[in-house]
Amino acid sequence: MKTLGLIIVGLVGAGLVYATIDFPPFGDPKSPASLHVSPRYLEKTVEETAVPNAVTSVLGDYRGFDTMFETTVIFCAGVACFLLLRIPRRRSSGPRQYRHRLTGLTFRIKEGGEIFLPLREFEPVDSIWTPHDFIIEKVCRYLIPFIQLFGLYVIAHGHHSPGGGFQGGVILGASIILLSVSHNLRTALNRMGEKISALFSPVGVFIFAGTGALCLVLGYRFLDYQALAALLPGGPIMARSHGILLVEVGVGMAVMGTMVWIFKNLASRGRYDEGL
């Protein structure tokens, strides 16, 4: 069976390589891909959408409909992880113990009991818990605000430089994950609760799809940002640029929320109790 699989893989690979004989030469400016649709994107992006970065204008406007569904894919992934991993009723995980850092007093929490202790002052006492490094904790605390600021910059500056909602959202999400890795899951949960991260993703995608639907309500086609000229200053061309910005903000929110949401579900095995 293994040999058969190997032969099939070899044949398919050979077929794919065989077809490259008829490919246009690599980097050929006369290849069909650079002659048919792309020239309009490159030449008219400023004229038609007032966005200098052609990648952003293609993703956000010309093929914005695809991007909306790509964001929805991310949302689906978040909901799927939640649906499959989250354990709604608290599983009994045995009694747990916490030590007060300053006084050394130890608290025992009964099976299934709530953790009410302020985690800053207590540390869990169990075999899998490892004490956190002071330096890492402090460095990350000072780093995270700047990471988040950079994430916002990447979202907002996608019109002019590489960036946009997906990249900025990932940076924002990573900052929360870093908080959780460097401190612990509960610290991250206190900053951004389960409900908040779970609501961020649908709200983010809703901003995208809602912007499109707003255009439809205003009498234009779905996602035709020109319609926003009725609500925003700057005429129909600038409205396209503004529309893309709105949509990018939605994408950023959705990506950030979903990343954090998936991380929490995976890291705590759906229990939202202890974790990384």
Partner 1 sequence: MSEHYPALLVILPLLASFFISAAGWLRPVCCFPLALAALGSSLLVSLGLLGDVISGGPVSYWMGGWPPPWGIYYRVDYLNALVLAVVCAVGFVNLIAARPSVEKDFPEKAGPFYTLYVLFVTGLLGMVATGDAFNLYVLLEIAAITGYALIALGKGRAALSSLHYVFLGTIGACFYLLGVGYLYIITGSLNMEDIARLLPPLYESKVVTVAFAILMVGVWLKMGFFPLHAWLPNAYTYAPSPVSSLVAPLMTKVMVYVMIRMVLTVFTVDFAFLVLRLNEVVVWLAVIAIVMGSLLALAEKDVKRMLTFIVVAEVGYMVGGFWLGNQAGFTGAVLHILNDALMTLCLFLAVGNIVHVNGDSRWESLPGLFRTMPWTMGALVVGALSIIGVPPTCGFFSKWYLLLGAIQGGHYGFLVALLFSSLVSVVLFFRIFEIGFFEPFGASHGSAHGEGGPAIQEAPLGMLVPLWMTALGLILVGLYTGEIVGRVIRHAVPGMML
Per the listing, tokens 């956000």 go with 60
By the rule CB under 8 A, 76 interacts with partner 1 = yes
Neighbours of 94 (CB within 10 A): 9
By the rule CB under 8 A, 250 interacts with partner 1 = no
Strand partners, 100: 122
- Shortest reach from residue 239's CB to partner 1, in Å: 12
By the rule CB under 8 A, 115 interacts with partner 1 = no
By the rule CB under 8 A, 88 interacts with partner 1 = yes
Binding-site size for partner 1 (CB under 8 A) equals 61
By the rule CB under 8 A, 41 interacts with partner 1 = yes
Q: What angle do CA 231, 232, 234 make, to 5 degrees?
A: 135
| In contact, 208 and 215? CB cutoff 8 Å | no
Binding residue for partner 1, selected from 7, 139, 149, 213, defined by CB under 8 A: 213
Binding residue for partner 1, selected from 70, 123, 137, 273, defined by CB under 8 A: 70
- Shortest reach from residue 182's CB to partner 1, in Å: 28
By the rule CB under 8 A, 220 interacts with partner 1 = yes
Binding residue for partner 1, selected from 21, 102, 128, 135, defined by CB under 8 A: 21
- Shortest reach from residue 87's CB to partner 1, in Å: 10
CA dihedral for 227, 233, 237, 240, sign (positive or negative): negative
By the rule CB under 8 A, 84 interacts with partner 1 = yes
Distance (Å, rounded) from C-alpha 9 to C-alpha 14? 8
- Report CA-CA distances (Å) from 176 to 169, 259, 264: 11, 9, 10
Query: Which contacts of 261-264 are long-range, i.e. CB under 8 A and separated by 24 or more positions?
Result: 261/78, 261/81, 261/82, 261/194, 261/197, 261/198, 261/200, 261/201, 262/77, 262/78, 262/81, 263/173, 263/176, 263/177, 263/180, 264/180, 264/185, 264/188, 264/189, 264/194, 264/197
Q: Print the binding letters for residues 152-191 with partner 1: x by CB under 8 A, - otherwise.
A: ----------------------------------------
By the rule CB under 8 A, 34 interacts with partner 1 = yes
Residues of this chain that interact with partner 1 (CB under 8 A) are: 12, 15-16, 18-24, 31-38, 40-41, 61-66, 69-70, 72-73, 75-77, 79-80, 82-84, 86, 88-89, 195, 198-199, 201-203, 205-206, 209-210, 212-213, 216, 220-226
